Amino acid sequence: MGPLQGIKVVEMSGIGPAPFCAMVLADYGAEVVRLVRPGTTVDTRDVLSRSRPTVEVDISTEKGQASVLQLVEQADILIEGFRPGVMEKNRLGPADCMAVNPRLIYGRMTGWGQFGPLAHAAGHDINYIAITGALNSIGRRDETPPPPINFVGDFGGGGMLLLVGVLAALAEVSKSGLGQVIDAAMSDGTSLLATFIHGLKALGHWSSERGSNLLDGAAPFYDTYRCADGRFVALGAIEPKFYQELRMRCGFEGSLFDEQMDPRCWAAQKQAISGIIATRTRDEWCALLEGTDACFAPVLDWDEAPMHEHNLARETFVTVEGVIHPSPAPRFSRTSPGVPQPAHTMSLQEVMHRWEGSAKGIERRS
């Protein structure tokens, strides 16, 4: 099942964005094999390693390198997330792999990219998004930028952009018959995610000062508020008609709330709204606002989110052997992905047998 049935992927194990890309490819039906160092423990609760077998291979040895190249001969995609030069050092760089399979799409995931002054430096999500301007834009005015969860760099600008790159190359190889190398850098991808903000800044609608803009916590109608029970709600009523709906339902009365888009009024409006929201519990606000055009949602934690009625109706989460998994996304009308399977181990011989068997009778894509 899934739109990528028949596509074979070699994943050099790592952490974060590269495994995420491989996971999504597996969700979409690709046959992904995850290669790990000998002695690596596989935990079935590791959601990021789902739906693909894990195989132990020592790529520092000639035998291990030969084994990887055997898989590469039949593969459509290889994904790796090492520092630049590591795969070449182990004789598994793009030139080595494309020598045995010229159609191979070679996806490379790094923080800084394959070249540039920082290419060989260590780093993590917080560093990669720092040089793009994104980190400076997160947080409250006059406070230090908080370390965000690594959605922006690792998974948005990193794994998701790597996924886009390999899928684009997969479409192109059907025309040219030639593979190519995808240089996916989290710093590049994060910058691309901020295109909208650069556009607003060019138009004079965005300030570099943190916490002073429409979408970064300055606007009272686009922020989070604490309720009477200590839990939180999120308001996002930007458009005037939605703002009026919010005012009507919440009782935001008086001339103080008339000038929605005047930043000079925002501090006073926010203080007043904070006081009003604090008079009711989160559940009471949900009963009043959820499902209306007031652009409202409760702020749920990781345990609450899978139990929300909308997520239940759409099966946004699925439980596999007692572990909650986010369901594959997006949704496909004909080639719907199946239910994710727990991470599991497999021998190299089993994988080779499976791949060779699935290749019989299937004409090589041209």
| Structure token pair of residue 161 | 């952009």
CB 184 within 8 A of CB 165: yes
User: What CATH number does residue 147 fall under?
Assistant: 3.40.50.10540
pLDDT digits (tens, 9 = 90+) for 128-175: 999 999 999 999 999 999 999 999 999 999 999 999 999 999 999 999
Beta strands in 1-148 (DSSP E): 8-12, 31-36, 53-56, 77-80, 105-110
- From residue 17, alpha-carbon distances to 20, 75, 219, 315 in Å are 5, 20, 33, 24
Residue numbers of the domain that contains 279: 222-309
Specify whether 163 is located in the same domain as 31: yes
pLDDT digits (tens, 9 = 90+) for 89-116: 999 999 999 999 999 999 999 999 999 9
Q: Is the pLDDT of residue 360 over 80?
A: no
Q: Rounded to 5, what percent of the chain is helix, strand, coil?
A: 40, 15, 45
Residue 44 lies in a domain: yes
pLDDT of residue 362: 44
The pTM of the full predicted model, rounded to 2 decimals, is 0.94
Work out the average pLDDT over 191-207: 97
Q: Is the pLDDT of residue 357 over 80?
A: no
Structural domains of the chain, count:
2
Upper half-sphere CA count for residue 171 (Cβ side, 13 Å): 6
Distance between CA atoms of 116 and 191, rounded to whole angstroms? 16
Beta strands in 140-279 (DSSP E): 181-185, 222-226, 232-236
**Which residues are annotated as catalytic?**
124, 154
Percent of the chain with pLDDT over 70: 97
By the 10 Å C-beta count (0-12 exposed, 13-18 middle, 19+ buried), 360 is classed as exposed
pLDDT of residue 296: 98
Specify whether 268 is located in the same domain as 139: no
Helix (H) or strand (E) holding 324: strand 323-326
Specify whether 180 is located in the same domain as 140: yes
User: What CATH number does residue 258 fall under?
Assistant: 3.30.1540.10
pLDDT of residue 359: 57
pLDDT digits (tens, 9 = 90+) for 21-61: 999 999 999 999 999 999 999 999 999 999 999 999 999 99
